[in-house]
Amino acid sequence: MLIAIIDDGIDTAVCDSVLPGHDLYVTENGTIRPRKPSERGLAGHGTTCAMIIKKYAPTAQFCSLMVFTGGDLSTSVEQLACALNWCLKKKIPIIHLSLGSRNLNDYTKLRHLVAQLRTQGQIIVAAHCPGYQYTIPACLTEVLGVSVDPELHGNQFIIKNMAGIKQVQIYASSSHSLYYPDHSCYNTGLANSYAAPTITAAVHEALKNETNTGFSIPDIYTKLAGAAINVVRLKPDYLYEAVLCNPLHMTLWQKYLAFQIAEECDDDYSLNEYLQYHPNATVVLFPPADISWIHNIESLHGLLYAGIPSDTSRISSILYWDEQEYKIMLEGIPRMSTHEEVPMVFVEASEKLEEVLFMLNEAMENDGYISRVISTQRFAYLYGFDFLPEGIALEDMIEQIILLYNPDIIFVFHHSLVMKSREVLYLCSGDHLALCDNMLLVPDDINLDIIKALQREIESFFNA
């Protein structure tokens, strides 16, 4: 099987057993061309990754896309996206990324590409960045994200049944003895980027003799672990284009959904008729619809139940998320105090300010802020917000959000407008736009000018 190494190139003088079929260079302006002999990676990182994979998957074939040019191993999201687009067009079966972004504003662009790659059955293996911070694409549900386990050696790895705070489930060895053509030995150190190749090799070996290339992510986890694995993340990020079955026509802010609606229906007959022609669709079910409504559930790409279903026994080899699974994950994450102060805006839980929240959050993100929303509103997760279910302490979730995303600002949409342990700004309904102490009043007539004015007031309040 062919493996694309997106890194700083492969130096065949150092690793003569790895001859990439394509040896490409991704320029800063987003074009791809053959790599020149003078364009060599200063760190030798891609070469090392290829040698690790070749050690444990000797029949693997490679292509190389050079996105790093300096010894600091830094690149842009545009270069990474360009490399992934090339892999998409060429239908490369396995894509190896010993790299990732911790900038949450890169999420939408990379998530879109991952969704397209997975639609074609392509497999992405990506290293988690050091520490706990959310890493894109490693933390996405449809990517095999990898962290290092210092207790493991060689090609050893373990797969945990819950993702935890890091939002990865695969932990692998980064301890490898590699031999160069002159017979000298290089022992790799402790690094996520050298643990990821261990998994890329394992994926290659598990699938190299398979004639079926359309494995679901749960199927791949099962093949690697030898047992069924619960693949759930805090975000149902595999929702990119979905069929909505909404029997009670529950109200949604459709223009703010974090995914596209492919089709909408309100009964089981219409749902299954659509799925007959689009069997690999992703479905969102709203109560009182039941999972039993779906006849051929195993053919789905993924399913989200917008509530707590009565029975999940038919769920096994597809991506799945519901509020109960999510809450179990939250309860399983130990509280970790960061002692960091982040600008925090409490938003009055009213229908008027709900749309203000959508618009403000969007405006902040468009200006480059890392903005997170903690919300008790129904179906908050469908908008990309961090849903706060009953029984989970707000302060615990705040600490988790700070640790995971390192945000510039947090909005809290909550029925309680009291926060004693932190300095906050309160957003409330009013007759006109005004800042009174730590209360920002929002007028009834909302437009983009008002939203920008609110944003300026928020920035001034926290920068004072």
Cα–Cα distance, 322 to 290 (Å, whole number) = 12
Percentage of the residues of the chain whose pLDDT score is greater than 70: 97
Check residue 70 and report its DSSP letter: S
In a domain, 406, yes or no: yes
Distance from the first to the final alpha carbon of the chain = 58
* Domain range enclosing 394: 344-463
In a domain, 88, yes or no: yes
Please indicate, yes or no, whether residues 88 and 186 belong to a single structural domain of this protein: yes
pLDDT-derived band of residue 70, with 50, 70 and 90 as boundaries?
Answer: low
pLDDT 10s digits, 144-163: 999 999 999 999 999 998 88
Please indicate, yes or no, whether residues 200 and 83 belong to a single structural domain of this protein: yes
Using the 3D structure, point to which of 297, 332, 367 is the last residue of a domain: 332
- Residue 276: how many CA atoms within 13 Å on its side-chain side? 6
In a domain, 230, yes or no: no
Our CA angle for 362, 366, 369, nearest 5°, is: 90
In a domain, 365, yes or no: yes
Helical segments of 299-377, H only? 323-332, 351-366
Cα–Cα distance, 78 to 55 (Å, whole number) = 31
Q: Coil, helix or strand for 200?
A: helix
Strand runs labelled E in 256-366: 260-265, 282-285, 302-305, 319-322, 344-348
Of 38-47, 134-143, 374-383, least confident by mean pLDDT is 38-47
Cα–Cα distance, 27 to 24 (Å, whole number) = 10
Q: Record the pTM.
A: 0.92
Q: Do residues 161 and 132 lie in contact, with contact meaning Cβ atoms separated by under 8 Å?
A: no
pLDDT 10s digits, 437-452: 899 999 988 999 999 9
In a domain, 31, yes or no: yes
Burial 115-150 (b: 16+ CB within 10 A, else e): bebbeeebbbbbbbbeebbbbbbbbbbbbbbbbbbe
Cα–Cα distance, 306 to 296 (Å, whole number) = 20
Tell me the mean pLDDT in the region 300-326: 89
Please indicate, yes or no, whether residues 169 and 204 belong to a single structural domain of this protein: yes
Please indicate, yes or no, whether residues 321 and 414 belong to a single structural domain of this protein: no
Find the helix or strand (DSSP H, E) in which 426 lies: strand 425-429
Number of domains observed in the structure of the chain:
3
Tell me the mean pLDDT in the region 267-295: 92
Cβ neighbours around 42 below 10 Å, total: 13
Of 91-100, 176-185, 259-268, 451-460, least confident by mean pLDDT is 176-185
Q: Distance of alpha carbon 344 from its chain centroid, rounded?
A: 24
Cα–Cα distance, 448 to 38 (Å, whole number) = 51
Using the 3D structure, point to which of 225, 254, 278 is the last residue of a domain: 225
Please indicate, yes or no, whether residues 141 and 56 belong to a single structural domain of this protein: yes
Cα–Cα distance, 403 to 419 (Å, whole number) = 19
pLDDT 10s digits, 405-414: 999 999 999 8
Kindly give the interhelix angle for 77-90 and 107-119, rounded to the nearest 10 degrees: 10
What Rg value do the Cα atoms of the chain yield, rounded? 24
Please indicate, yes or no, whether residues 390 and 262 belong to a single structural domain of this protein: no
Using the 3D structure, point to which of 225, 260, 280 is the last residue of a domain: 225
- CATH code of the domain in which 118 resides: 3.40.50.200
In a domain, 305, yes or no: yes
In a domain, 338, yes or no: no
Tell me the mean pLDDT in the region 114-123: 93
- CATH code of the domain in which 432 resides: 3.40.50.300
Check whether the bond before 150 is cis (ω within 30° of 0): no
pLDDT-derived band of residue 464, with 50, 70 and 90 as boundaries?
Answer: low
The whole-chain average pLDDT of the chain stands at: 91
In a domain, 234, yes or no: no
pLDDT 10s digits, 178-216: 998 888 999 999 999 999 999 999 999 999 988 777 789
Better pLDDT: 379 or 9: 379
